[in-house]
Chain A
């Protein structure tokens, strides 16, 4: 076991700001939706709009970061080990079996996470953001007092925006719970806060190309002669 830097500084900043913004947007958003009363409708609308701009700004930075660092590759989906990962959550986890996949800085997401997070990033968030922007710009005036965006039904926009919100809340619950399924119940959260997580050592000085250093790495890594460890999911 040794400590590995899994989450970079920006990544952690992005994750926690996004998390708090989404929770804040949910609170204000569902108040606007009429589900409960916290800030009062007027303030809730105002806060929701301001927070949404912050989130959009944050996402711009996050997208830039993902592209420039190549971290987007972490989200390339794979079916390898996917079944094992799912089965693990429904049976192995209860029996105290080890995770079928390992977490490294190079491959920090398991196959299930890859698919779910990719869906989060490519479907759920865009759906919510785009419907939100359309919602926000509904009946916009330009400088000549002309209504620019008018003739689309608000009910449809609201439907997709609410759909996004509901799915995000379900994601939130499952996501928070899943953080407890690490080596220890808090190890994942600690990693997301500090950036470091204790992981099983990966043998880097492999002598032969075919040597398997750890049984759980069997399907995941090729240890090459030049000591590069490459993720075979790519």
Chain B
């Protein structure tokens, strides 16, 4: 018996040990090593622009630089002028709208609201010179700004409120002779500063990425692959790969993790399988705004308070503005856990002139649901706030914010909403009833950057948990570990408990009856031996 017992025990232990042995640590990921090797080799530029005669002269205007560029790159302006970076719009098919042109020209946001009537200031981030109004000539190649993207001297700087012209301090000769492939600092000069300051809009794109650690961004980290933006956002014919759904609508021309990492980047098959409904970003970007804070809320309704008749600013503990008379009050946050939504790659934006359908107003709608099989869970930054709208026409309005001088109706100078809106709407070609209010708005920013090293990615149990998981708000589907059939579980548990009670009761009765019987038998015996005396 002992031999058999030992055999059984050994067999069981063996089975359980096998289970644990089969669980191995990660193997060497060859796919990843190949990618690292590929991107470790940085291309040597084929041309040193400082040696070119055409650039060795004094440039009086930036347009002269463009002409010099075009003297060799004779047709490149055509590519630029077909791009959304230049046109600030892109034609696409939008569900419910048909074919429409969407872009910075006509969409609204809940940061600085919109470009119309503010072009002179907004054009700091237009790859052109001289956009002072909506009547900018988009067909003039001389106004293409090559330097903002191709400056490798880190000297180029577009002036504040100069309609896209470079700052007067810029040495155009230096910049022109330094040009090369765009670097993080080039892209970041606009994309890190959207919304009027570093990391205001995106939360995952900011100036710190120019020189950060792997922990901040595993791709761009200076102590990592130190990749440039254009490593992923390639630009065939100057048409940048990638888009953001604050101004984009369709599911084309996107940058994906899969374009390099493939659909099956993990050794674990079960993780690869998650990719059918969970985007890579969901697990690999545990938090955003890892270095500097990002704006989470912007209330325009608080704007306009003055001290001694003058605008003022206040800062929070981290040194971020939490109040500005010209803009209202803000809430900032750092190391933010993203929100999660279903997204199928198509979106719709609030376009200037649209009627408000619901409150809070969706500045952009990211389409998707669990039931749409092309939708995946993605991380988003949700930016909320309130902004001015026309009570009669029931639509958001475009105020004129920026102005050169007092009295030209700009809100940032005069602090009079009525005049600012009237001027802005006139410039936009839309009617304004004269009655304004403030309405709550919400905007969704997909989080795609600040990918963490794999050991810091989101753990299974951060979603697969009953309470307070990352996906707690994303309901309507069965998530193992989070969801259960409560009726089934309750009935099951009670049946289990009742069974235990039943078995225990049965055992007690058995034992008790046994004792009673033994006693009874003993009593009979003792009775025989212990008869009462007659």
Binding site for B on A (CB under 8 A): 12-13, 16-17, 20-21, 24, 32-34, 40-43, 45-47, 49-51, 54, 89, 93-96, 138-141, 145, 147, 150-151, 153-155, 158-159, 162-163, 166, 169-170, 173-174, 177, 180, 190, 193-195
Contacts and interface: CB of A to CB of B under 8 A. Distances in A.
A170 B499 contact: yes
B18 A174 contact: no
B99 interface: no
Interface stretch (B213-221, B269-277, B339-347, B446-454): B269-277
Contact of B22 (A33, A50, A140, A194): A50
Given A42-B459, A162-B485, A170-B496, A154 B480 contact: yes
Contacts of B466: 34
A193 B276 contact: no
Interface string B241-278: 00000000000000000000001100001101110110
B337 interface: no
A186 B5 CA distance: 14
B524 interface: no
Contacts of B483: 155, 158
A206 to B, nearest CB: 32
A12 B4 contact: yes
Contacts of A43: 23
B510 A94 contact: yes
B509 A94 contact: yes
Interface stretch (B46-54, B125-133, B500-508): B500-508
Given A16-B12, A139-B276, A170-B499, A153 B4 contact: no
Interface string B473-498: 00001101111110011001001100
Interface in B8-47: 8, 11-12, 15-16, 18-20, 22-23
B514 interface: yes
A139 B373 CA distance: 11
15 contacts: A12-B4, A13-B8, A20-B15, A32-B480, A42-B459, A43-B23, A94-B510, A95-B513, A141-B276, A155-B477, A158-B484, A166-B495, A169-B496, A173-B499, A177-B507
Given A155-B483, A173-B503, A20 B477 contact: no
A8 to B, nearest CB: 12
B485 A141 contact: no
Contact of A96 (B4, B18, B464, B514): B514
A180 B264 contact: no
A193 B478 contact: no
Nearest to A157: B478
B17 to A, nearest CB: 11
Which of B1, B274, B480, B482 counts the most chain A CB atoms within 10 A? B480
A60 B485 CA distance: 31
Nearest to A58: B15
B525 interface: no
Contact of B507 (A21, A34, A180, A195): A180
A51 B19 contact: yes
B489 A162 contact: yes
A93 B510 CA distance: 7
Contacts of B492: 162-163, 166
B478 A173 contact: no
B312 to A, nearest CB: 51
Top 5 A-B residue pairs of the complex, sorted by shortest distance between their CB atoms? A166-B492, A155-B478, A41-B461, A145-B263, A194-B1
Contact of B503 (A45, A159, A177): A177
A24 B19 CA distance: 10
A46 B481 contact: no
A155 B500 CA distance: 28
A158 B276 contact: no
Nearest to A156: B478
Contacts of A49: 270
B19 A193 contact: no
B12 A47 contact: no
Contact of A45 (B18, B20, B270): B270
B499 A17 contact: no
Contact of B506 (A34, A40, A141, A177): A177
Contact of B481 (A16, A41, A47): A41
A77 to B, nearest CB: 23
Contacts of B269: 141
B493 to A, nearest CB: 8
A195 B513 CA distance: 30
B465 interface: yes
Contact of A190 (B1, B277, B517): B1
A45 B460 contact: yes
Contacts of A194: 1, 4-5
B439 to A, nearest CB: 38
Given A138-B273, A141-B273, A193-B1, 11 more contacts: A12-B4, A41-B464, A139-B276, A155-B477, A155-B483, A166-B488, A166-B492, A169-B496, A174-B499, A190-B1, A194-B4
Contact of B461 (A12, A42, A140, A141): A42
B264 A145 contact: yes
A177 B508 CA distance: 12
Contacts of A170: 495-496, 499
A138 B510 CA distance: 48
A40 B513 contact: no
A97 B56 CA distance: 114
Contacts of B481: 32-34, 41
A162 B15 contact: no
A143 to B, nearest CB: 9
A93 B503 CA distance: 13
A41 B460 contact: yes
Contacts of B484: 33-34, 158, 162
Nearest to A163: B488
Contacts of B488: 159, 162-163, 166
A43 B481 CA distance: 13
A150 B373 contact: yes
B460 A17 contact: no
A158 B145 CA distance: 59
B1 A173 contact: no
Contact of A41 (B15, B465, B478): B465
A155 B465 contact: no
A42 B25 CA distance: 13
Contacts of A138: 273
B11 A16 contact: yes
Nearest to B502: A174
B38 to A, nearest CB: 21
B8 A193 contact: yes
A114 to B, nearest CB: 21
Contacts of A17: 11-12, 15
B1 to A, nearest CB: 4
